[in-house]
Amino acid sequence: MLLSILAFVLFAIGLATMLLLGETNEGLKVLFIAYLISPYGIPMLAAWFLGTIGGINERLKSI
């Protein structure tokens, strides 16, 4: 939950940077970091990776 709050704060900062300061490049960097720490970024990638490794493990056990 803490990372979700931090992701929202970073999203707001990135959006404000793009709209108020006109720094589109820097704002997109902050938005990308916010996406990575959100529940859909790195945690989802880790869950997919663990599932894939588990599937490979089960295939190897069946041989």
Q: Can you give the pLDDT at residue 4?
A: 86
Region 9-29 average pLDDT = 92
Residue that is written with structure tokens 């894939």 in the block: 52
Number of separate domains in the chain: 1
User: With 90 as the cut, is the pLDDT of residue 49 above it?
Assistant: yes
Q: Range of 49's domain?
A: 2-62
What would the mean pLDDT of 7-25 be, rounded to a whole number? 92
